[in-house]
Chain A
Amino acid sequence: MRSTSDIIFDVTGQTLLLRCPLGRPTSATFDVFAEDVADDGTAEFSGTGTVDSVSTTLLSAAGTGQTDRRDLTLAASGGDSVTVGRRYLLEEDGRKEWVLVVEKDGDALVASSPLQNAYTSAATFKGTHVSAVIDADWVADSNNLSDITTPSPDYRMRFAVAVNGTTWITYLFFDLVRGAIDHGVTTHDVEARFWNLLDDMPVDHRSDQGARVIDAAWEDVKSDLAASRINDAALRDAQLVDQLLVKRIRLTFAENGRRPADMSADGFLDYALKDYQRFIEKHFLVSSQIAMAVGTGGSVSKQPAGSYFRK
């Protein structure tokens, strides 16, 4: 899945990563435009993308019929450049699937879930990502900082990717921000409120204690906030952000049927959804419009007609 990225101001060496769904690119170029500049207008900066160097074969058979369908071993030194957490294209004779690598020991890899096909040592294993480096001068120019009062990204990176003999045009989007709010949640924070979650983690998520579940829920939270015109980069309360995420993670598990003892799946899903939505409404969407007393003298501080982010 693609995400709108937050590029951090005055930090050099940052990259945007594009996964090419069509296969392994041979080359790629990119141009960055401000949101109100056309594709044939003046670019903020341009460059040549770097194609993932992984392009190898399997050392031995993998997938259906093997001792564990999550295991695959690459030909000698093929694993050197493999990045854990990245997806690679495994292909042989028309059979193909994306492999999300979750563990690596030399050339021995573990996929996030069982492979669905049978592969021989002739199968190819390729990276299809293109990385684009953010210009060092541009990222340090404060005039380029994004307006984070809206969730719409201020910049787009236009890629021209040569793949399978054709040129594929696509975009990634990003903001330039002072700092990314991000989150600080681990499964332990959820388990403190939703017991035994670590022990009850789905089998494909045990090796990282559900980190991918959390990351996916974080993407969902950002999208839900964007629906209310809130840019997550503008948030300035880490506790409430993390608590919101905890509730979203719990909702994710409820959506997959997990629930406490003595609660039905439907009942708990309804509860978790309402609890999550009410938390957003109470903390992120609505503020009091009634004048509130301040200090001990009885005077009031009049509030504006509504909060900045209001329904």
Chain B
Amino acid sequence: MATTTKAAIRTAMLGVIDGLTSSIESRTKFIPWREDDDIRPWAEKNKAACTRRASVRFVGSTEPPAVNDTLVQEVRDVAEIVICYPKGGRFGRNGNHDLDDVIEVDATLIESRIGPPGYATFAGLVAPCTVIREQADEVESGTGCVFSVIRYRVDYFRSLS
């Protein structure tokens, strides 16, 4: 039974996001957040630098294993992807509407590579894991920034050795 870890899945997700090129403002790349602070307060302090800064973390609790033996167990976690955008007219003259469009395009792009539609490619990056979107995408409004939050349920086998 092939096993994997949260770290390997997180690294794979960040690697995919790091390589994405959006169809809007394509020169502004996704940049993995360095995780030396929570991304939201950092973005609020660095609004001009926060565009498409991306964080991937496993949040919340790991559910009890559905399947267990002495060598491996199947676990279920939630990976939270947060992408930052500055408020204001950065994405065009239509202000918030242009911002909404960028968030939608980017979220769709991420879904196509990491979510169920991207299984064929994402599964090749790590040992088999199932990525399912059970929760609605959220757009959190901060003081100077907006955060696109995508949460995936991730099922995988981990080694007990």
Q: A-side interface residues toward B, CB under 8 Å?
A: 64, 67-71, 110, 114, 116, 196, 199-204, 256-259, 261, 265
Contacts and interface: CB of A to CB of B under 8 A. Distances in A.
29 contacts: A64-B93, A67-B26, A68-B25, A69-B25, A71-B27, A110-B27, A114-B90, A114-B92, A196-B34, A196-B36, A199-B34, A200-B46, A201-B49, A202-B49, A203-B28, A203-B48, A203-B49, A203-B51, A204-B48, A256-B48, A257-B45, A257-B47, A258-B45, A258-B48, A258-B49, A261-B37, A261-B41, A261-B42, A261-B45
A257 B46 CA distance: 7
Contacts of B24: 67
A71 B90 CA distance: 15
B93 A116 contact: yes
Top 4 closest pairs, chain A to chain B, by CB:
A202-B48, A68-B26, A68-B27, A200-B49
Contacts of A114: 25, 90, 92
A284 to B, nearest CB: 30
Contacts of A199: 34
Contacts of A64: 92-93
Interface residues of B, number: 21
B115 to A, nearest CB: 23
Interface of B: 23-28, 34, 36-37, 41-42, 45-49, 51, 90, 92-93, 144
A265 B92 CA distance: 27
B146 to A, nearest CB: 15
Which of B28, B41, B45 has its CB near the most chain A CB atoms (within 10 A)? B45
Nearest to B21: A67
Contacts of B34: 196, 199
Contacts of A69: 25, 92
A201 B28 CA distance: 12
A204 B48 CA distance: 8
A11 B144 CA distance: 50
Nearest to A71: B27
B3 to A, nearest CB: 34
Given A116-B93, A199-B34, A203-B51, A259 B45 contact: yes
Contacts of A265: 45
B92 to A, nearest CB: 6
B93 A258 contact: no
B48 A70 contact: no
Nearest to A257: B47
A99 to B, nearest CB: 15
A203 B92 CA distance: 15
Contacts of B28: 68, 203
A110 B27 CA distance: 9
Contacts of A258: 45-46, 48-49
Nearest to A204: B48
Contacts of A196: 34, 36
